[in-house]
Every structure is written in structure tokens, then in C-alpha cells.
Amino acid sequence: MKRLSPGLRVALYLSGFLVLAGAGVAYAIVQSGATPASFAAVFTLSGPTVALLFFFLFAIYGTDCVRYRVLAWSVGTPITWGRALHSSIANFFFSWITPTAAFGAPAATVMLARRGGIPWDAAALIAFGKSMTSTAVLLGVAFVFLLAGWGPQVDATWMAPLLWASGIVAFILALPVLGVLWPKQSVAALERLEHKVSGRPWLVALAVGLQRTIERLAVLKRRSRWAWAAILLVHLPYFAAFIGVAATLDHALSGRTLVHSIGVSTVFTAFTYVAPTPGASGLAEGTSAQFFGGALSGEQAIVVVLLFRSFTSYVQILIGLVHLLWVGGTSEVFTRVRRGAREEGDAADGGFPDGR
């Protein structure tokens, strides 16, 4: 069967995102009874609030570039601000339009290696390490807010299955970052698990994937404890800007305390990170009232989420699309994804092309 062209594949992924997001918006509007007049709340925002939102928009890119530069420094391959920005834009675009952000790290890898001129293995480690440690930090912070009672008050009736599924994904994503604290013991335990579940291919693939992830992250940790601490801490300014968009909107419209608004927004952002749809499309928009309800009406909640998504998702897709048309690299991204899939398959068969 003839493989679809890279451009057509991007168009299909983008269409899927738009369809799901549109369905989520429609569902939220029907459930909340929102009307065009409901969106007049946008015009009630003060000038300083609007200025802060635009500051966060640019700060997201700036702090993301800092993350790339710190990760690059940690593996001994410094990169310029411009190369970091190219990687950031490509990562955002492909992360939003593909399920579970599957193509985000490969896209950043291509930009780092092709435009940054650094070795492919180092580029992959930078992109992959940023993705994994970033998610782990976000989930950890969200968990703290939940324990402190500053999370959203969700309706467990229908949200429970979705939250349980997201929680399982979050647990699997967090395992490698915890495992890297004791890499040898963790890998040995996963090897034992791999042998015990040899009759179940999907469990074998999971165990092998976790082993490879821990080994890759361990490379970042070997440089020094200070480097590992810097890698984890550098995510905080980024998430302060990213989550700050939703927290600012919620605080301005709901009257919740700022800490509570930050907590609700953090948990919502963590949910979008582990949601299975492309960029959480549909689920993020459709669950607006469930996460931001209570202090906000359903109509206000959809306004908050749509503005949040506009500043942190929709505009990044638009910028990424223009960037893609300008610098190219789409075919290389898909090639990188296929190569990664083959390597994972080889690993599951007992071979490790990365030299393990």
C-alpha cells in the first residue's frame, strides 16, 4: 500500500484535531447553554489582565527555549537561542496535532540535528529528556495541589473512568523519572518483569520501553547532581507561564483565590498532557465546566478554556504551520518516527540498535 505523503499526513492530523476540538466546544456549549452573549465576558477583562496574557504567550516560547538550552548543556552540546526556538515551534506544532504528543520529540530532534548541527543521538536525548522530565514535573506539582485541596471539584459520576485512565497513563509516564534515581535496580526489576510476562507481548513491550527510557534519562543524570536538578527545575518557569494563562483568567472571572486558581489550572493542564486525543482536543474543551465549574458558571468555564487554549494551543498550531511551510522538515519528522518505531521493535526482540 502506497504511503501517504508527509503533507497529506499533516493535513489529516490537523483535521482530526480541529474536528475533535470543534466537537468538544459544541458539547460544552450545549451542556452549559452558552450563547454568543456569553463570550462578552472577554471584554470585561482589565487592561493589565490582557497584557499579562500576552506576556505569558511570549514567555511560553522564551522559557521553552531556556529548557532546550539547559538540556543541551547537560549533554555537552550547547545550542543557540535561534536553534532552540526552531525546535520549540516544531515540537509544539507536532505535539498538539498527534495523539499523546507522539511526534513532538521527533520533530524537535529533527530541528536540533538539522538546523542545530548537533549529533542525532544528542538531539534525540535532548528532545526526549525534555519531554519526559517535563511531564513528570507537571504531574508531581498537580498531585501536590490535589493533596492540598486546591484542585477542581469534579463530578466523579462520569469523570471517574476518564480520570482513572489518565491516572494510569500518568503513573506509567512518571515511573522512568522515579526509576532513574536507582537505574540499575530499576532496569534489573523490569528485566525480571519482562521474563515473567513473556507470553503477553504488550506487557513485554511496556517493560522494554520503560527500561530504555530509564537508561536514556540516566545519561542526563550522570553529568552531575546539579545538572539533574537544573533539568527538573528549569521546567517550573515554563509551566508558570503556561498555567498562568488559565490561572489569570480563572482568578479574574471566578473570584477564587489565586492559589486555588493556580491549583485548578495546574490539574487541568496535567489532564491535557495525558489525555489520549491529539493535544487533548475535544476532551479539554468538553470538560471545561467539570474542571472550572463551581466558582464559574458553565458559560464562563467554556470562555476560560477557549481563551486558555487559544493562547497555549491554537496559536501555537498556527505559528507551527507557518514555520513548517518556511523551514520544511516534515518528511524527516515522519522518517524519524518510523525509525524510532523500528528501534522499539528491535528492542522488544532483544536487540538494541542504540548500542546498549
pLDDT digit string, tens, across residues 192-232: 777 777 777 766 776 776 777 777 667 666 666 677 788 88
Name residue 278's beta-bridge partners.
Answer: 99
Q: Assess if residue 173 is contained within a domain.
A: yes
Specify burial of residue 193 (Cβ count, 10 A radius: 0-12, 13-18, 19+): middle
pLDDT digit string, tens, across residues 132-182: 889 888 988 888 888 888 888 776 665 565 566 666 666 666 677 667 667
H helices, E strands: number in the chain: 16, 0
pLDDT at residue number 315: 96
pLDDT digit string, tens, across residues 8-60: 888 999 999 999 999 999 999 998 888 888 888 788 889 999 999 999 999 99
Q: How many domains, the chain?
A: 1
Q: Assess if residue 243 is contained within a domain.
A: yes
Q: Assess if residue 29 is contained within a domain.
A: no
DSSP string, 136-193: HHHHHHHHHHHHTT-S----HHHHHHHHHHHHHHHHHHHHHHHHTTSHHHHHHHHHHH
- Residues shown for the chain: 356
- Region of residue 140 (phi > 0: left; psi between -120 and 50: alpha; otherwise: beta): alpha
Q: Assess if residue 252 is contained within a domain.
A: yes
Question: Residue 154's domain spans which residues?
Answer: 47-345
At what angle are helices 201-222 and 330-348 packed, to 10 degrees?
110
The widest CA-to-CA distance across the chain, in whole angstroms, is: 62
278: three-class secondary structure by DSSP: strand
pLDDT digit string, tens, across residues 316-348: 999 999 988 888 767 777 676 666 544 444 333
pLDDT at residue number 349: 34
pTM of the model: 0.82
